C-alpha cells in the first residue's frame, strides 16, 4: 500500500512537470526550436501573475485570465520579431538567441523584483486533501494540477487533429517549404504556435508558483525538468510529454521514499536510463 | 489573354546563376510544356514563378502585376499553385487532410473535396489513409488534387510522371484535360518529351539555364528539338 501511495503521489507530481514541458514540446515539435529560455518564461509568467494579483486583488488562479493573454501576446511578438529570424540557419542560432533571452529575463527580473523569494497564495485549496481507502491521502491541489495537465494535453490533441490550424501545424512540422507552397504563411503560423506554447507556459508558471517558492534564478532547473519530460516521452509527441512528466514525478517520489535527498537525483537517473535504453524517447514521433 | 509573363528572368542559388534572362508567356487556359535535360533550370523556372525562389520584382508578371518579390504563400492567394517534384505530400496527414491543406488559402472557385474525388474516384476510398501508404500514382493524384484545392488560375506541375508506371501516367494526363477545361492554365515540366508535347499546345526548351527553343507543340521539327535539348 505504501508503494501504491508513492506511485499516486509521484504521478500527481508529474502533472506540474508535464505542464512545464508542454510549451517546450510544442515549440520543438512545430518549428524545431530548442528554447533555452523556456524555464525563465515559466518564472516570468509567475512574476506577471504576482504583479496582477498585487494590483487587482485577484487570486493567482483567477489572474490567469490576464496572465494567459499577456503571455500569448508576448510569445507571438517574440517569435514574430526575433525568433523567426533564427530559424533558417540551422540549430545553433535559436539556441544562442534563446540563451540570450534567458539571461535577459533573469537579470531583468532581478533588477525589477530583487532576489527575494516569492510565492503566490491561493488559500485553503493548497492544503486541502482527499482521503482514499487504505489510508492514502491525496492533495486536492496536486490533483487539480494533474487534471489541468491532462485537459491541456487533450485539448492540444483536439486542436491538432480536429482543426484547420492544427492541420497547418502538422503540415509545417512535416515540411515547411511545401507548406509555404500550399499558401501557409509559416512565419505567422510559428508566431501563433509560440503564443500557444506561452499559454501553457503561463498556466505552468502560475500553478508552480502557488506550490513552490520562486526567485529570478528559478528558471533553469524548470527548463531541465521540462527537457527531461520531453525527451523521456519522445520528441514531438504531446501525450508522450505528459507521460514523461509522470515518469519523472514517479521516479522522484520513489527516490524520496528511500531518502528525501534522493528525490531530485532519482528523477535525473530515470532520465539517464531512458536516454541509454531508448535515446529517442519512449514514443518518438518526430523524424529528424 | 496573357496570364503569366516572365521578362528577363534570372535566378540564382547563392552565387550560382541557374536562369539567364528567360522570357516565357502563358495564356489563360493554355497548357505549356517546359522541357530540357537535367539541370537545365526547369524546376528553377517553376520555383521562381511560384515564389519559392526570390527573383527581381519586375521579372515575373502575373495578370500584368509584378510578383517576382512575393512569397509563395502570397502567390497562392493570387491563384498560382504548384504540384512539386516528388509529390511532397505531408506524411503525417491523411489523404483528405492533405487535400484540405491545399485549400488553406480559402481562395474561392469551383474546386472542392467532392470535385477532386470526382476527378480521382480512387482517392475517395483512401481518404482516411495516411498519405505515405498510397502508391506512387495515387500520391500523385493527391498532389494534383491538393494543388487544385486552392482554385488556381495557373497550375505548375513538376515532373508528374516521375517514378510512375506508363499506364498510371496515362491516367494522370487524362485528368489534366479536365483541369484545363476549367480555364486553368497549366505549365508542365516533363522529362519525357513525347508526353510533354502530346499534352501541351506550346513548349519551351531550356538548355543550361537559357531558352533554347520555343515552338508550338504540333508539327515540330524533331531534329530542332534534339539540337536544342542537347545543345548540339
B68 touching A (Cβ < 8 Å): no
**Cross-chain CB nearest to A178 (options B71, B77, B84):** B84
CB contact under 8 A, B90 and A179: yes
Residue A125 C-alpha, separation from nearest chain B C-alpha, in angstroms: 42
Q: What is the CATH number of domain A2-119+134-277?
A: 1.10.3470
Chain A interface disruption, residue of B92, B100, B107, most A CBs within 10 A: B92
Q: In 3D, which of A237, A139, A78, A181 has the Cα closest to residue B104?
A: A181
DSSP state of A214: B
Decide: pTM greater than 0.90.
yes
* Cell numbers found for residue B204: 519551351
- CATH classification of the domain holding B49: 3.40.50.300
Number of folded domains that form chain B? 1
- On whether residue B76 sits in a domain, the answer given is yes
Q: Which helix (H) or strand (E) holds B122?
A: helix B121-125
CA contacts within 13 A on the Cβ side of A235: 16
A182 touching B (Cβ < 8 Å): yes
pLDDT-based confidence at A288, cuts 50/70/90? very low
Which chain A residues contact residue B90 at CB under 8 A? 170-171, 174-175, 178-179
B87 touching A (Cβ < 8 Å): no
Q: How many CB atoms lie within 10 A of CB B116?
A: 24
Residue A286 has pLDDT above 80, yes or no: no
CA distance B42 to B209: 8
How would you classify the pairing of strands B154-158 and B202-207?
unpaired
- On whether residue B216 sits in a domain, the answer given is yes
- Structure confidence by residue, pLDDT tens digits, A163-202: 999 999 999 999 999 999 999 999 999 999 999 999 999 9
DSSP state of B157: E
Q: In 3D, which of B131, B130, B125, B127 has the Cα closest to residue B143?
A: B131
- On whether residue B195 sits in a domain, the answer given is yes
Gyration radius from chain A CA atoms: 19
CB contact under 8 A, B50 and A164: no
Q: Which helix (H) or strand (E) holds A136?
A: strand A136-139
Residue A10 C-alpha, separation from nearest chain B C-alpha, in angstroms: 33
- On whether residue B187 sits in a domain, the answer given is yes
Q: Which helix (H) or strand (E) holds A222?
A: helix A219-233
Chain A interface disruption, residue of B14, B51, B72, B106, most A CBs within 10 A: B72
CA distance B120 to B111: 13
How long a stretch of residues is chain B? Answer: 232
Q: Where are the domains of chain A?
A: 2-119+134-277
Residue B227 has pLDDT above 90, yes or no: no
- On whether residue B45 sits in a domain, the answer given is yes
- Structure confidence by residue, pLDDT tens digits, A85-132: 998 888 899 999 999 999 999 999 999 999 999 999 998 888 899 998
- On whether residue B218 sits in a domain, the answer given is yes
Q: In 3D, which of A98, A286, A35 has the Cα closest to residue A175?
A: A286
Domain containing residue B64: 2-86+152-230
Is B214 within 8 Å of B230 (Cβ atoms)? no
CA contacts within 13 A on the Cβ side of A216: 15
CB contact under 8 A, B71 and A185: yes
CA distance A168 to A178: 11
B92 touching A (Cβ < 8 Å): yes
3-state secondary structure of A212: coil
- Structure confidence by residue, pLDDT tens digits, B14-37: 999 999 999 999 999 999 999 998
- On whether residue B123 sits in a domain, the answer given is no
A181 touching B (Cβ < 8 Å): yes
Is the backbone of residue B128 left (phi > 0), alpha (psi -120 to 50) or beta? alpha
Is A42 within 8 Å of A20 (Cβ atoms)? yes
Amino acid at each position: 500500500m505504501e508503494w501504491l501511495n508513492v506511485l499516486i503521489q509521484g504521478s500527481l507530481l508529474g502533472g506540474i512537470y508535464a505542464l512545464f514541458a508542454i510549451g517546450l514540446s510544442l515549440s520543438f515539435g512545430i518549428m524545431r526550436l530548442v528554447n533555452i529560455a523556456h524555464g525563465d518564461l515559466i518564472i516570468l509568467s509567475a512574476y506577471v501573475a504576482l504583479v496582477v494579483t498585487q494590483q487587482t486583488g485577484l487570486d493567482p488562479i483567477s489572474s490567469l485570465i490576464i496572465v494567459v493573454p499577456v503571455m500569448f501576446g508576448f510569445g507571438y511578438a517574440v517569435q514574430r520579431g526575433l525568433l523567426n529570424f533564427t530559424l533558417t540557419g540551422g540549430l545553433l542560432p535559436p539556441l544562442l538567441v534563446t540563451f540570450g533571452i534567458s539571461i535577459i529575463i533573469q537579470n531583468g527580473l532581478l533588477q525589477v523584483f530583487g532576489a527575494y523569494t516569492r510565492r503566490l497564495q491561493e488559500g485553503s485549496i493548497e492544503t486541502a486533501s482527499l482521503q482514499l481507502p487504505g489510508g492514502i491521502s491525496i492533495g486536492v491541489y496536486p490533483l487539480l494540477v494533474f487534471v489541468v495537465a491532462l485537459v491541456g494535453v487533450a485539448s492540444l490533441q483536439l486542436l491538432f487533429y480536429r482543426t484547420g490550424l492544427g492541420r497547418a501545424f502538422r503540415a509545417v512540422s512535416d515540411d515547411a517549404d511545401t507548406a509555404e507552397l500550399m499558401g501557409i504563411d509559416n512565419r505567422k503560423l510559428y508566431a501563433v504556435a509560440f503564443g500557444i506554447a506561452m499559454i501553457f507556459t503561463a498556466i505552468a508558471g502560475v500553478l508552480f508558483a502557488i506550490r513552490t517558492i520562486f526567485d529570478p534564478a528559478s528558471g533553469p532547473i524548470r527548463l531541465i525538468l521540462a527537457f527531461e519530460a520531453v525527451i523521456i516521452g519522445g520528441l514531438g509527441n504531446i501525450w508522450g510529454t505528459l507521460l514523461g512528466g509522470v515518469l519523472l514525478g514517479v521516479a522522484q517520489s520513489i527516490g524520496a521514499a528511500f531518502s528525501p535527498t534522493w528525490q531530485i537525483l532519482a528523477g535525473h537517473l530515470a532520465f539517464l536510463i531512458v536516454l541509454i535504453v531508448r535515446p529517442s524517447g519512449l514514443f518518438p514521433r518526430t523524424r529528424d | 489573354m496573357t496570364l503569366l509573363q516572365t521578362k528577363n528572368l534570372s535566378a540564382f542559388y547563392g552565387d550560382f546563376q541557374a536562369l539567364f534572362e528567360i522570357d516565357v508567356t502563358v495564356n489563360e487556359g493554355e497548357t505549356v510544356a517546359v522541357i530540357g535535360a537535367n539541370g537545365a533550370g526547369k524546376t528553377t523556372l517553376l520555383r521562381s514563378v511560384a515564389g519559392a525562389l526570390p527573383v527581381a520584382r519586375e521579372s515575373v508578371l502575373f495578370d500584368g502585376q509584378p510578383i517576382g518579390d512575393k512569397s509563395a504563400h502570397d502567390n497562392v492567394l493570387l491563384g498560382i499553385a504548384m504540384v512539386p517534384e516528388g509529390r511532397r505530400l505531408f506524411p503525417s496527414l491523411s489523404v483528405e487532410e492533405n487535400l484540405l491543406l491545399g485549400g488553406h488559402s480559402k481562395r474561392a472557385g469551383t474546386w472542392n473535396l467532392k470535385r477532386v474525388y470526382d476527378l480521382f474516384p480512387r482517392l475517395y476510398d483512401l481518404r482516411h489513409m495516411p498519405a505515405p501508404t498510397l502508391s506512387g500514382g495515387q500520391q500523385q493524384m493527391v498532389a494534383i488534387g491538393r494543388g487544385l484545392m486552392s482554385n488556381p488560375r495557373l497550375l505548375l506541375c513538376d515532373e508528374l510522371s516521375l517514378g510512375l508506371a506508363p499506364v498510371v501516367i496515362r491516367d494522370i494526363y487524362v485528368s489534366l484535360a479536365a483541369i484545363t477545361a476549367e480555364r486553368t492554365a497549366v505549365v508542365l515540366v516533363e522529362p519525357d518529351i513525347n508526353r510533354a508535347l502530346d499534352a501541351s499546345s506550346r513548349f519551351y526548351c531550356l538548355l543550361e539555364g537559357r531558352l533554347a527553343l520555343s515552338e508550338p507543340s504540333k508539327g515540330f521539327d524533331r531534329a530542332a528539338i534534339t539540337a536544342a535539348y542537347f545543345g548540339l
